[in-house]
A and B are shown apart, each in its own frame.
Chain A
């Protein structure tokens, strides 16, 4: 039988690694699309965001372990990832049309 503590820990690890990754992905999509929309060269935007993205991931990773409420963590990570992804894709569509 897995203890409550162990489940808590597994939840945090999954949130930190996969939730953090999903958020970072969404962030990158939105940030690159936004920079391009602002008239910045595509590769410039891509490079700039690749420099920032892992710092964002690192911050989220540590925050997941430090945060008091796991519900809030998941809300921010999964919700943030979904919303940013959506806006990013909409931006892309409007940029290409």
Chain B
């Protein structure tokens, strides 16, 4: 089919890149937003605009909150389908394990647990004998956050970038997984096609025609951030490898895995099963203090990132305390396990092996538990470079073909261009539209989060219809006016969002930056303003007709740079 390596790689780059590029746009853009997911949460849920705090006292603050934790109705329904008979009243289910999770950026705390059920599973091999529950609590007041308040950053934009929020049969995860593989293939094939990659490092010639200047930008954004692109696509696959993408140890090698788990449980001394003998709970705060003392002894003083308890109220119950990895590229770790009834240490996890250190570095660099604001912004920038690389790829595809398509009456480049509008300006419109809706809908509206999601998809859908409706000029080898119109709208909506945040919460930029500094909200507002400026600039650029004269001027001014062609 192909005559040479470069031709075959060119095919993979162009066509696989095009089809999965629409998905990759979503991954890169929402991934970039996810770097600041907690901050977007604060913007969207004004009640939680206070300072992050370390894990609060379990004995005094958290313990009573777990009494209010309820099984999740969705998980109840899902579990009901897997077991014999009907489940008992959720009020009567007993909590058998629990967890609490926080990071250095969280003013609120995520808690959850598993409720035991008496029913037998339909499939005897199904050992998932519990229903989950989770909640977000305000540790300052001990109140649970309203379920209708959607955490737009961490529960919508963040899952968007790895699952497209398409949970049916895990379809979204698989599409994103394939897109990540194609991203890697796109990078390798791009290098093979191009060969001279260092030449491209500093070359951007906006005065040249759209095809040339887009190619410059495509190569440059691809090359300068090559390590970022490669490692983020690669680690995306590694992060989900054992649970989703390549679950060999849960399927083919399950017998070997279970055998190992049994041996390991014996070695670690952490009881796999409850003893059936009721037992009280010793002071958890004392265990936390002991864990912190041991970390400090290892020269790794730190805060608690994750706390969990198993076999609650049972003689075999134990408490696991993990350190938050905010000062290095690591997740929670250095776990110390205590006997729940007495508070004595059962086991202290040894330092990581070489393999796990590498694995943790790779997954950690993607999941970003660290406290490093500059690196966070650099990541946002890297994500946006990726988005530019893909978006210019679409433009290259269209510009290369549209004249030919216009001659032979093909609609190909017109369709691709309309989809490009949808996944570039349309996608940002959907995200900003959701924020606008978040400020317009009343906080106590029932199902507010559901409404916000509906609006998100609707704005995106409308952007697609608009792009398709305005796309006919592309079939005549001209430009789609939807690019400019959506840019204008995006600029207006971004400013609107900032204005609405001020009106509805009283948090304007002078306050959040200067008088009562709160960077989470100020950062979102400022980013929206920058978005607006870029959108208006783009709209202005798209209006200016590109005259021959202008091109000539630019060419003569920079004659020498043309030496590459």
Contact = CB atoms under 8 A, between A and B. Distances in A.
Q: Do chains A and B touch in the complex (CB under 8 A)?
A: yes
Interface string A62-91: 100110000000000000000001001100
Interface stretch (B155-163, B213-221, B242-250, B520-528): B242-250
Contacts of A36: 256, 260
A51 B239 CA distance: 10
B1 A50 contact: no
B536 interface: no
Contact of A66 (B9, B241, B355, B362): B9
Interface in A5-46: 5, 8-9, 12, 17, 24-25, 28-29, 32-33, 36, 41-44, 46
Interface residues of A, number: 36
Most buried by B among A5, A32, A43, A44: A43
A66 B1 contact: no
Nearest to B245: A54
Given A29-B248, A66-B2, A50 B242 contact: yes
A50 B246 contact: yes
Nearest to B3: A68
Interface string B224-242: 0000000000100110011
Nearest to A93: B255
Interface in B230-281: 234, 237-238, 241-242, 246, 248-249, 252-253, 255-257, 259-260, 264
B260 A61 contact: no
Given A51-B238, A54-B237, A96 B259 contact: yes
Interface stretch (B73-81, B126-134, B184-192, B507-515): B184-192
Interface of A: 5, 8-9, 12, 17, 24-25, 28-29, 32-33, 36, 41-44, 46-48, 50-51, 53-55, 57-58, 61-62, 65-66, 85, 88-89, 92, 95-96
List the 6 closest A-B pairs by CB distance, nearest first.
A42-B260, A50-B241, A54-B237, A65-B8, A66-B8, A47-B359
Interface of B: 1-2, 5, 8-9, 11-12, 178, 181, 184-185, 188-189, 234, 237-238, 241-242, 246, 248-249, 252-253, 255-257, 259-260, 264, 353, 355-356, 358-359, 362
16 contacts: A28-B248, A33-B256, A36-B260, A42-B249, A43-B260, A47-B355, A47-B359, A48-B355, A50-B241, A50-B359, A57-B181, A62-B189, A65-B8, A65-B9, A85-B252, A88-B253
Given A48-B355, A92-B256, 9 more contacts: A5-B1, A25-B246, A43-B260, A44-B356, A54-B241, A58-B184, A58-B185, A89-B252, A92-B253
